[in-house]
Structure 1
Amino acid sequence: MKIDFANLTYQYRLYKDEIDEAILKVLNHGKYIMGPEVGELEEKLCEFTNSKNAITCSSGTDALLLAMMALGIKPGDEVITTPFTFIATAETIALLGAKPVFVDIEEKSYNIDSTKIEEKITPKTKAIVSVSLYGQPSDLDEINEVVKRYNLFHIIDGAQSFGATYKGKAEAHYCDIYTTSFFPAKPLGCYGDGGAVLTNSDELAKKTKMLRVHGQNKRYHHKYIGLGARLDTMQAAVLLVKLKHYKKDLALRQEVAKKYSEQLKNVKNIILPFVKNNRTSAWAQYSIRVPNRDELQQKLKESNIPTAVHYPMPLHMQECFQYLGYKKGDFPVAEKVSEEIMSLPMNPYLRGEEIHYIVDKVC
């Protein structure tokens, strides 16, 4: 048996007629930049999340950058975040000349440990970026208590979590700005790069829209230093089709995760994913922890089962962040998890027999 990690080709075949028609429509009207599908997608994203504003953009990284620029993050500011995430979370902070300040993670959820945030706050702290790792929201109420107490901004990096909920609502309702990614392998992915910024603040939405188009408030008049960060119309067309089926795909992801957990729960030396009671995960990944990761990955590879490691090195140990002065041992939970974590194939279309085959080989 040969397993596909994300099964993007199967998904295309499933929705082929709709996707082909949507792409052909764009080719026929020729409005490749900011065409009508972009605005339509933004409306549908608002409907899906019950948010006031959605601004699509060119990638999840640019979504983070736009969010920080809209909030006025500048050189000398400090922004608190997690060291256990994709580099874009902290990279965008550094690109603006601000200082990433890391806080260790919880060992169960792998998200930022909300009990350790307050001790890292200084007069220079401007914002907190929580990351909904693997699709699960952080402890948003606890984070927002700190945010309110110290008059900070809260950005949620939801690159992996679009469609997840916290206390029954979309994450965009628990922060100043929520960002997400439409990278092809994400739960809701396009056929290239793409992302979005969601906010209930009309003021922040207005500024973000300008920043997305070089800070322009009318043609060739620039209020801000901005970016060329638009989502192209073709990607919007693909996402419109996929978004129609997304609730069903999310439900299927839940079923896949449930089957994995049921079949792996009694296996020794494996730590399974843990989702807290008052939230749901979008299950961007199904990640287990094992003491013999390299050996297990090789064995699975020999059985045509692809795996991935998200992420093998915490950000505070990356060469590009050496200037921050962190060292090995500063964030022991993140370091421990990074040595043991590995992701099994996860997509809505994994069949029962495929899951059983994967579990059998893991065992």
Structure 2
Amino acid sequence: MTQHVWGYLPEYEKERADILDAVDTVFGSGQLVLGKSVRSFEEEFAAYNGVAHCVGVDNGTNAIVLGLRALGIGPGDEVITVSNTAAPTVIAINAVGAVPVFVDIDPDTYLMDVGQVVAAITPRTRCLLPVHLYGQCVDMAPLKALAAEHGLVVLEDCAQAHGARHHGRIAGSMGDAAAFSFYPTKVLGAYGDGGATVSDDPAVDARLRRLRFYGMEDRYYVVETPGYNSRLDEVQAEILRRKLTRLDGYIERRRAIAARYAEAFAGTGIVTPKLAPGNDHVYYVYVVRHPRRDELIEALKAHDIHLNISYPWPVHEQEGFAHLGYAPDDLPVTSRVAKEIFSLPMYASLSDAEQERVIEKVLDVAGRL
């Protein structure tokens, strides 16, 4: 299980006719930049997420960058988030000149420990940035209560949580704005880069639309505020439109795969994901733990099973963020978990036979460690 470990090739074979028709539709439309496909996808994705507005952008990192700027976050402002995340979450904070402030994670779900947030708030704090990691949501009610009490904005990082729900609310509908990635591996993935920022606030929506198009409003070359060239590609938007109609099916299949893993590894040394109260998980990745993770992963390579780690190096331990001044022990749960977690194959096109082989080999190898 190497090249198609995240399911691109099997998915493409199954959906090839529709994907190529999407490409032909755009090329034949005469609208290659911010045309009908982008507008339609924005409307449809906003409706799916129960929000009023969606702005398609070029990637998930810039979805966060533009989201922060549209919410008024800039140089010197502090943004509270987690270190157990993909580096782009923090890179985006840095890109707007803000300062990332980390809190530790829950040892069972690996999500933001909301109970630690209040102690991290300072007079410079302006934003809370929860990461709905691995496919399930952070506990949003107490986080939003803190935001309201301290006059902070909330930007949800939903890059890994398309379709996830928290007490019935869909990811992306609970903050002041939310950022999504459509990188090919995502639950809703494009065939290249792509992203979107959503909001219920028309003023935030208007700022986002200016920011993604150089800072211009209606007239070309008239810049109202310096922005970016950060437009969702028309071809990717049309592909995403088609795939959006299949998103719930992708999620259903992922949950079935997760259930089989949970049953197979119950009572073993493999610690399976814990579902937080009120959450409907979409299993973007299926993250498990084992105290001898590195040995287990290395042994499985002999069976052509190559597993990923999400994430082996917490952001606060990486050289590029040394200037933030964190030591590993400052976030003890994050640092400890990073030494044990790894991801089993998880994608909608994973076959039952492929999964059974993974389960068999993991149990065999783990049983001999």
- Structure-1-length-normalised TM-score: 0.97
User: Hey, what's the Cα distance between the residues in 2 that align with 1:140 and 1:2?
Assistant: 37
Residue 151 of structure 1 corresponds to 151
Contact preservation (8 Å) 2:315, 2:321: yes
Q: Secondary structure at the match of 1:90?
A: helix
Q: Tell me, yes or no, if the aligned pair for 1:3 and 1:345 is still in contact at 8 Å.
A: no
CA distance in 2, matches of 1:228, 1:316: 30
Superposed, which structure 2 residues align to 1:249-268 within 5 Å? 249-267=250-268
| 8 Å CA contact retained: 1:71, 1:204 | yes
Q: Residue by residue, what CA displacement relative to the aligned partner does 1:152-194 show, whole Å, maximum 9, x if unpaired? A: 0001101100111111121222100111100001111001100
- Asked if the contact 2:177/2:197 (under 8 Å) is kept, the reply is yes
Match for 2:262: what amino acid?
S
Within 1, Cα distance between the matches of 2:183 and 2:265? 29
Q: Deviations over 1:89-116 (max 9, x none)?
A: 1111112211110000001111110000
**How far did residue 291 of structure 1 move?**
1.2
The reply on whether 1:9 has 2:47 as its aligned counterpart is no
Could you tell me how far apart the structure 1 residues matched to 2:344 and 2:229 are? 36
**Mapped partners of 1:291, 1:14: distance in 2:** 38
Deviation at 1:3, TM superposition (A): 8.3
In structure 2, distance between residues paired with 1:25 and 1:248: 24
Count of aligned positions = 362
Aligned residue in 1 for 2:172: 172
Report matched runs for 1:346-357 at 5 Å. Answer: 346-357=346-357
Residue aligning to 2:94: 94
The answer to whether 1:80 aligns with 2:80 is yes
Equivalences for residues 1-363 of structure 1 within 5 A: 4-218=4-218, 219-267=220-268, 269-363=269-363
Counterpart AA for 1:261: A
Structure 1: gaps (5+ residues): none
CA contact (8 A) 1:4 1:345 kept: no
1:236 to partner: Cα distance:
0.7
Paired AA for residue 168 in structure 1: G
- Alpha-carbon distance between aligned partners in 2 of 1:286 and 1:259, rounded to the nearest angstrom: 11
Q: Is contact 2:131-2:157 (8 Å) kept?
A: yes
- Decide whether the 8 Å contact of 1:4 with 1:306 is kept in 2: no
Q: Distance in 2 between matches of 1:277 and 1:74?
A: 34
Provide runs of 4+ in structure 1 moved above 6 Å: none
CA distance in 2, matches of 1:3, 1:171: 30
Find the residue that maps to 1:342 and give its secondary structure: strand
SS for the counterpart of 1:130 is coil
1:195-235 deviations in whole A, cap 9, x for unaligned? 01111111101110111101111221111111110011011
**Aligned partners of 1:38 and 1:232 also within 8 Å:** yes
CA separation of 1:196/1:327 partners in 2, compared to 1, >3 Å: closer, same or farther? Answer: same
- What secondary structure is seen at the aligned counterpart in 2 of 1:115? helix
Deviation at 1:2, TM superposition (A): 7.1
Question: How far does residue 352 in structure 1 lie from its aligned partner after superposition?
Answer: 2.2
Q: Is the contact made by 2:55 and 2:205 (CA closer than 8 Å) also made in structure 1? A: yes
Question: 2 CA distance for matches of 1:326 and 1:47?
Answer: 40
TM-score by length of 2: 0.96
Contact residue 56 and residue 195 of structure 2 kept, 8 A: yes
Provide the C-alpha distance between the structure 2 equivalents of 1:206 and 1:195, rounded to a whole number of angstroms: 17
Residue 20 of structure 2 aligns to a residue whose secondary structure is helix
